[in-house]
Each structure stands twice: as structure tokens, then as C-alpha cells.
Amino acid sequence: METDVHMKHQAIKQMMKKRNRGTGYAALALIGVITSLAVMTLDSATAHATIHEHGYTYRYDYWGDVQDSPDIFSVTQTYTSADLLLEPRMKNPEGLYAHENMLYICDTGNNRIIELTVDDAKKLSVSRIIDSFQGGPGVNTFAGPTDIAISEQGNMYIADMGNARILQLDENLNYISELGKPEDSALDAGLIFQPYKIAVDTAERIYCVAKGINKGLCKYEADGSFSGFVGALPATYNLWDYLWKKIASQEQLAKMTSFVPTEYDNLYMDYEGFIYAVTGNVSEDDLKSGQVSAVRKLNLLGSDILVRNGDYDNYGDLYMGDGGGHQGPSLFSDVTVFENDTYVCLDRNRGRAFGYDDQGRLMFAFGGNGNEDGTFNWAIGIEHIGTDLFILDLQTGTITTYSLTEFGRLVFQAIDQFDDGDYDGSRATWDEVMKLNGNYDLAYIGIGRSLLRQKNYKEAMRYFEIKYDDDNYSKAFKQYRKEWVESNILWIVIILLALFLIPMGIGRYRKIKHDIATADIFLIDQ
């Protein structure tokens, strides 16, 4: 392509020789511009190809425009049932869970749980197939298991949805107990208990997402007693429906949809015991109006304490138009949280992963729908071990592994250094990030936050201003103003006294002068 541009350039110059000298200079100048644009186009295409060589990562800037980014995560391998020597192959797996160096896949369609070992080379291999257990009053096999969690004590908790129970087993697969439908008068007596997703805290309290229950997470104490619902999502409605229900007849009301809370889709318990819960039962209007949050961080009281300091709310893609047969908003099916409070939400609608930092700023988005490595047909589960990501595809029964790129390693290192109080190191690492991507907003903001902690407020303001970070700019300006006043207080007092005393002195001088002049006139008259 570069050769073609060069040949065209030479041909046009030969044509110009036949014209008058003055016109030739103008034409050659125009050719230079055209050639430069052509080379720029080639460079741009080359850069774009480089970005897409191992994946496609993007984020949104302050204006809501899509900005290409170097990959933070890159695909290391995609494992199929054949790669894992599984027979029969996985069928509609719906759960993925990580514990230490082990991965657990709930192979729902085959009524089993697959335990995988992740070795030092980050390779996956099957260590055992769990399809039954010992003891218990009922059947000792599973029926459509959808999730698993392991406590610090090593006990397994399995959402055995087809058998309407949550099983508690020890590490040797011996039956301990089981949990059934919550005993709550607010629940329909005919409701079938369908535990779908579970999490367990350090005290072995169990939190469960159950299908058909929209009152929040079902909470069970360590002894198995049901203790209530936690973190119910608010009911969603629009103003017109609300007003109409106020004036509608009973017959009309019976035909209308009730305002009911939204159900959660999945949950994740972080290292501090906070629960991150996501929902894909949302509409575009719900998300953009702020009526429903696609991801929440729940404390022990069930209150949402997720920090949202980003330019946009944490609901995935900003643009929700039709593309590739998929339309509407991102529908989060799972979430995982790293030890630095960075969390990644998985979108089953377009097969994308959205990473946010602890302030709620979008760090990266990657993935898509398709049959190539790094794309999915139905992204259902996401987990991490260390800084490696694992994504499960329900439809193809594959698991894709991701590792940090050099760019991603620097981003995570800068965040870790800031959390550890190493502000000089964090700033230096963010500088390295900017060398790889000078348009990465979080690098500017990260440097600004480091400078802010180092009390270099004026310089911090400059970095925040570049990326329109109004909140942090205001914090830095407030401290800079205070610091400036304290360091210039003497001059401020002198100036204020001067502004007060000089007019007073001038007035006094004029009065004395007037009195003297008046006295002289009085003496002359005498």
C-alpha cells in the first residue's frame, strides 16, 4: 500500500512538470499534504491493527467518546471439554468459583461439579469430578447445580437448584446439613425454592440469590437458621404509570403490572466481607435514570456503599443500540473483585468484561460476541486467581484464561502502590503507563491523587484539570488555598491593615490640614 502511494506521488509530480512553474509549486505543496495524510492513514491503520492483534480494549473519556486502549488483559488460552479430557462434554455450565489455586465449574446440564487445578504455569487440569456425596437423609446426587462456595474452614456449599436445597459438605464430600426454603410469611406458600447463586463469609453465614425471590439476598446463619433478607433492590416504575395507578379502577389495576423490586443475578464476597451483587434485570431507562444500579456493594446492613466517582455510572456500555443482533443495555451476569478493590463485571448481552477501580472509574472494557478466542456466545461466569481472569461460556462450555499485559501490570502496580502509601512509586509507575498510552485518563488522575497525598496541591490541580476531574480538583484547590493563606498570612494582615489604616490616615491628614487652614483664616480676620 505504501508503494502504491509512492508511485502515485511520482506520477503526479511528472504531470506537474508539464505545467507552468508557479502552478507547479502550489500543486506540489498540495501533493505533500495529500501524501502526509496518506502516510498518517497508513500509520493509523497499523496502530489500529496492533491494538486488535491480541484483542480489543477500549474505555470512555470525559465526553463519552470511545477511546482505544492497549490491552490490559490478553487471552492466554481457551479450554474446551476436549482440552480438559471431559466426557461427556460440559453442558450448560452456570457457575464458576475460585478457591486458592482451584477452579470449580458447576456443570449444570450434567449434574456435576468439575474441580480444576491451576498450576504455576497457569495451565488447567481436572483434579476430580464431584457428582455425589456421602450421607444425608435424601438423594446424594445433584440436580442442576448452579453455584458453589467454599468457606475458610474448607466446607463446601452447593446451590443444588433442582433439588431445592443448599448443601453443606465437608472437604471429603461428607454430608453436614442442607438449607431449604426461607421460612417467611411474606413468601408465597406455593413458591418452589430455587437457590441459584451463593456466597459464604468467614463466620459461615450463607447469602443466596434465589430465583423468584426479589426481596434481596436470603441470609442464613451458621447454624442454618434463616435470618432475613439483605439488600433488596428498589422497585422500578415510571411517573406516568404511578399517576395512572392513583386514578385507575380496581379492574384496571388488576390488569396492570405491579411495581416489584428487581432480582439479583449473581454475587461475590470480597476479602473484607463486603458483597458485590449484580443484576441483569434492568432496562435502559432504569439505568440512565439511576433508579436501578447494575452493581452494588453491600455492607452487613444491606446498604449500598459502592463508590461512584466516575464520569458515568457503572452499568457497562454507554451506547445501547442494536449491533450484531444484540441491543439494549449491558446485562451483568457475574462480578469478581481483586484484592486492590478493582472489580470486573461480566456482560452476558455482548460478551464483554468491564473493569472499574475502587473509585468507580472505568479502567477497561474488552471482549465481544463470537467464536474466536476472547469472544463468547453466552458469558455466564467470571473469576480470578491472583491477577489472572477466567471467563466461562454457558453455550459453548469453554473457559477462557486471561493474564495481565505489560500495560496492565503497570496499571495494577500503580494502584497497589497508591493503596500501600507509596505515592512516589505510584506516580512514577503512572508515568510509565502514560508512555504507553498518553490518553489514559486514569494515569493523569492517579498522578494527581498521588500529588494530592504528598501535599503538592498546585501540581495536583494541573493534572486533575487536564482530565476534567472536578471533584478532586476542588479538593486540591481547597487545600492549596488554605496552604497559600497560611504561608502568606503576614502579608495578608499587612495589606488588610494598610487598606484600613491608609484611608484613615489620609482622612486624618486632610482634617488636620483643613483645621490649620481654617485657623490661619481666623487669625487674619482678627
Question: Is 80 exceeded by the pLDDT of residue 257?
Answer: no
- 302 phi-psi bin (left φ>0, alpha ψ -120 to 50, beta other): left
Q: Measured at the alpha carbon of residue 450, what is the angle toward residues 444 and 455, in degrees to the nearest 5?
A: 125
Q: Which is higher by pLDDT, 186 or 48?
A: 186
Rounded Cα distance between 277 and 113, Å, is 23
Q: Which residues pair with 78 in a beta bridge?
A: 400
Question: Is 90 exceeded by the pLDDT of residue 33?
Answer: no
Q: What is the DSSP letter of 47?
A: H
Tell me the mean pLDDT in the region 509-521. Answer: 72
Q: How far is CA 140 from CA 126, 133, 301, in A?
A: 22, 5, 35
Residue 36: predicted pLDDT: 38
Task: Tell me which of 112-116, 132-136, 211-215, 288-292 is least confident.
Answer: 288-292
pLDDT (tens digit per residue) in 415-425: 999 999 999 99
Residue 52: predicted pLDDT: 39
Cis check for the bond before 503: say yes or no (omega within 30 of 0): no
Contact criterion met (CB below 8 Å) for 186 and 169: no
Rounded Cα distance between 15 and 53, Å, is 40
Provide the residue ranges of all domains of the chain, joining segments of one domain with +.
2-53, 68-404, 423-487, 488-526
Contact criterion met (CB below 8 Å) for 56 and 350: no
At the topology level, CATH places domain 68-404 in Neuraminidase (2.120.10)
Task: Assign 512 a pLDDT band (cuts: 50, 70, 90).
Answer: confident
Residue 336: predicted pLDDT: 98
Tell me the mean pLDDT in the region 6-12. Answer: 38
Rounded Cα distance between 19 and 179, Å, is 91
Q: Which is higher by pLDDT, 499 or 197?
A: 197
pTM over 0.95: no
Q: What whole-number percentage of the chain has pLDDT above 70?
A: 83
Residue 486: predicted pLDDT: 78
Give the phi and the psi of residue 356 in degrees, each rounded to 5.
Answer: -125, 145
Most confident stretch, 272-276, 367-371, 488-492: 272-276
Contact criterion met (CB below 8 Å) for 416 and 399: no
Question: Is 50 exceeded by the pLDDT of residue 19?
Answer: no
Question: Is 80 exceeded by the pLDDT of residue 507?
Answer: no
Q: Which is higher by pLDDT, 249 or 19?
A: 249
Rounded Cα distance between 95 and 81, Å, is 15
H runs (alpha helix) in 127-265:
239-247, 250-255
Task: Assign 433 a pLDDT band (cuts: 50, 70, 90).
Answer: very high
Question: Is 70 exceeded by the pLDDT of residue 41?
Answer: no
Question: Is 80 exceeded by the pLDDT of residue 437?
Answer: yes
Question: Is 90 exceeded by the pLDDT of residue 255?
Answer: no
